[in-house]
Structure 1
Amino acid sequence: MLQERRSDASLVSLAGRWYFPIAFVARLPFAMMVVGVLTLVVATRDSVALGGINSAFVGFGSALFGPLVGAAADRFGQRAVLVPVGLANAVLLALLPFVVAGSAPDLAVLAMSFGIGATAPQVAPMSRTRLVAIIRQRMAPRRHEKVLSGTMAYESAADETVFIVGPFLVGLLATAIAPWVAVAGAAALTFVFVTAFALHPTGRLVVRGGDHEETAPARQLLRPRLVVVVVGILGIGLFFGSTLTALTAFMEQHGESSQAGLLYGVMGIGSAALALGSAAFPRAFGVGWRWLVFGVVLLGGAIAFATADSVVAVAVVLGLMGIGIGPTLVAQYSLGSDRSPVGRSATTMTILGSAVIVGQSVASAVVGEVAERAGTGAAMAFPAYAAALVVVAAVVNVLLNRRSPVAR
């Protein structure tokens, strides 16, 4: 139950002790979708390229409809949007294994994948919106900056963790039981936990557009200082997708393609730890500079990944790359929250979340095709290209901050 306002209370006590476990598990299916579809199609229809294309269609669906889901939540409230969207997503996920295993043409599978992306519940951005509302409405103003910083660090760490744990679970279930079990599990998690998240009392705290404040015009979403954050976080999505697909091709070359998700989980160790530790960074080490510094670390690891030639070497490099991912995501989401137009918080956060899944999906399709046509070595170079985009966006962000009179 949502607690009454107390200016000295912790965020956990204000949100309720069950909020954070529910919100964490509810975002897992979102991270399992792309990898689950990729693994299922590759294993059932024996084509890395087809699996990558289906992953891309998941991303296209999320790109087209994800921001609309966020805008609808801003307009009508989260509960009214999340319940029907979550139920539709659970049904489509549950039906996908039957369609893939049956005699349906590839086009039907692509349509199902697009529908799964289009109905993806945007739990992570809506969770951020709820927590920001709690902080601003129920905490003393003097505590806002510190608590917001820690909250963005936790939320980014949670996102990073589920984007590692999700593929890990897919790999574990695919290896131990069967690839379809991972997709069925995502359907069950969506049905139970997304519904629980939608109905949680914190959803009533989020102010709907037009209730108490004037909503900023949609064109403010195209401001350069916000667009550069979207480009940077798209780079992270491209990095996720290219790394996992290249890793899948690498492990397939070693006869263990279904274990790619397990090895991918190594990247989450340093990533989650550094993301959570971001709140302890000194204020002099600004958010924009954190993005740039840890983006360079990510780029260095990606270059090493392109030259790795053994499973052990790949595992070590994945651990190094994880160090760069966590703090970079924290910085990007913090900047996105800070630059969100008035009344469009859920829309902004949904765009950022969709950018990750779009990048992941597009990279899965492209790198899957490259792996089949040009070989694993060529595919393993793509994470470096994605990391380079993250660094370039970080440099542009620093330059924009210097020129902008309202930059913090």
Structure 2
Amino acid sequence: MPHEPQHTESQNTEPQDSVPRSSDLHGGADPQPAEEPVEKQTLLAAVGLSYFPIAFLARLPYAMVVVGVLTLVVAGRESLSLGGLNSAMVGLGTAIFGSFIGAAADRWGQRPVLLIVGTLNSAALIFLTWVVFSPLPDAVVLIASFAIGATAPQVSPMSRSRLVDIILRALPGSRQSKVLNGTMAYESAADEVVFVFGPFIVGLLATWLSPVAPIIGAVVMTLIFVSGFALHPSGRLAAEGAGQSAARGPVRELFTFGIFVVIAGVFGIGLVFGSTLTSLTSLMNDLGHPEQAGLIYGVLGIGSAILAISVALFSPRFSLWARWLSFAPLLLIGTIVLALSDSMAAVVIGLLLMGTAIGPTLVTLFSLAAERSQRGRSATVMSMAGSAIIVGQSLASALGGFLAEEAGTSTAIAVPVAAALVVLVAGLLNLIVRLRRRKRDVVHT
């Protein structure tokens, strides 16, 4: 692979951020056409036909974990607040170790890292299914949940990182920008599907079988599909990053204001997921069927998945900052409708509005994360963003569970409104990043 020149701020003179750019992704100028490999003209040819179904199924266990733990603990310990607290422990484990898992993949390659954490995660899930119904104290259950989050395989961010690397290495420079935009749209749509229908699957399994079934299902899927993703031939390209430590951008570039606002936005989306799910769980718990919350929650994914996929068709003139500020208010409106709803029809309308906004917003956020990743740090940044979702989801589940138990469903269902405000505020802060870039570009020109 040709070595790309080191990035300097003066190299970027275009203020628009509507699509990811290879110079932003890897900290250098775009490769010269003469140096580009041309034998593989499409992403599908580069990764192989089997990649996308394997990568899609491999991220399902991660999406099932938070609500699966919540459902299992509520059933085994008969406490919604304890269930929410365990969900928060999953998020805490992910918050502490998720980025380190991504950094390890950047250094040693995705394959060994995924195989190790996948095995450890399966063991932690099995341990939780036993300890919840054991006479051991709640503290041991919390430790098990923390271990689940700490060992969660970062399939989604690693898939993004892997595809970005392959696009930049295998596709001609003239096609990279368009393919990157479409890839981020697909990846976010895939995340939308699994993060919405993961709880839906949990609800089905818990309703038809038992609260233990979703956890056992997650174990089986982790061992089969996470391992399959790790061993997929496309992983060899990602593994090449292990030998490129000298080319990685400085660690300080992981803590810029531009990356911070993106992580804050993704965190807000996680808050929306967790608080909405807990509110619905509280509602269904009032009706005596808490395990069916995931079924109602599936409504959120209808507009979300469709709109996320359609982002690939958006005009390049519809820049990322504008997309963020266009869909975040719609998300806020949807949460308000949900909070004020007094019938199931109103609940469905609120969830549909929220889903319509969440899909494009997630595409935008991960596109910005890819654009602002430095050379050799893409898996780390993507893991930071992926961890932010699960952390937000877990914290909101804990807060919502506490409020539902102490103050009732009417209070808990207001939390999604605050979560949507986080997404909107982060979008406004992103304007500062854009203005700084425009000012910098004007100075350098």
Give your verdict on TM over 0.5. Answer: yes
Alignment partner for residue 226 of structure 2, among 184, 194, 202? 194
Aligned residue runs from structure 1 range 336-351, under 5 A: 336-351=369-384
> Does the 8 Å CA contact 2:157/2:386 hold for their aligned counterparts?
yes
- Tell me: CA distance 1:261–1:407, structure 2 relative to 1, closer, same or farther (3 Å): farther
Determine the C-alpha separation between the residues in 1 that align with 2:81 and 2:152.
23
In structure 2, C-alpha distance between the alignment counterparts of 1:7 and 1:270, rounded to whole Å: 38
SS at match of 2:76: helix
Query: Partners of 2:415 and 2:292 in 1: how far apart?
Result: 20
Contact map agreement 2:400 2:412 (CA 8 A) in 1: yes
Q: Flag the 1:76–1:371 CA change in 2: closer, same or farther, 3 A.
A: same
State the distance in 2 between where 1:190 and 1:276 align.
26
Q: Aligned equivalents of 1:327 and 1:335: distance in 2?
A: 12
Name which of structure 1's ranges 40-49 and 253-262 shifts more when overlaid on structure 2. Answer: 253-262
- Equivalence for 1:13: 45
Aligned twin of 2:116: 84
Partner SS for 1:179: coil
Inter-partner Cα distance in structure 2 for 1:115 and 1:354? 14
1: CA distance, partners of 2:189 / 2:117: 25
SS in 2 for 1:273: helix
On the 8 A contact 2:107/2:245 being kept in 1, the answer is: no
| 1:331 corresponding residue in structure 2 | 364
What aligned pairs does 1:255-334 form with structure 2 within 5 A after superposition? 255-334=288-367
Deviation at 1:301, TM superposition (A): 0.2
Task: Give the Cα–Cα distance (whole angstroms) in 1 for the partners of residues 135 and 112 of structure 2.
Answer: 37
**Cα distance change, pair 383–219 in 1 and its aligned pair in 2 (3 A):** same
User: How far apart are 1:254 and its partner, in Å?
Assistant: 2.3
Q: CA deviation at 1:210?
A: 5.3
Q: 1:231 aligns with which of 264, 288, 301?
A: 264
1:174 pairs, out of 206, 210, 215, with: 206
Shift of 1:6: 4.6
Which one of the candidate residues 22, 30, 33 is aligned to 2:54? Answer: 22
- Structure 2 residue matching 1:17: 3-state secondary structure: coil
Contact 2:40 2:46 in 1 (8 A): no
Question: How far did 1:312 drift?
Answer: 2.7
For residue 400 of structure 2, what is the aligned residue in structure 1?
A: 367
**Distance in 2 separating the partners of 1:291 and 1:344:** 24
Equivalent residue number for residue 20 of structure 2: none
Q: Alignment partner for residue 189 of structure 2, among 130, 152, 157?
A: 157
Distance 1:135 1:291 in 2: 25
TM, length-normalised to structure 2: 0.89
Gaps of 5+ in 2: 1-36
Residues 138-163 of structure 1 show CA distances to partners (whole Å, capped at 9, x for unaligned) of 11000000000000000000011100
- Structure 1: how far apart are the matches of 2:441 and 2:234? 31
Q: CA deviation at 1:8?
A: 5.9
Looking at structure 2, the residues matched to 255 and 101 of structure 1 have their Cα atoms a distance apart, in angstroms, of 21
Of the structure 1 ranges 251-260 and 380-389, higher mean CA displacement relative to structure 2 is found in 251-260
- Which of 39, 42, 59 matches 2:74? 42
Q: Does 1:137 align with 2:161?
A: no
Corresponding residue number in structure 2 for 1:385: 418
Contact 2:93–2:150, Cα closer than 8 Å, also in 1: yes
- Unaligned 5+ segments in structure 1 are none
Give the structure 1 partner of residue 429 of structure 2.
396
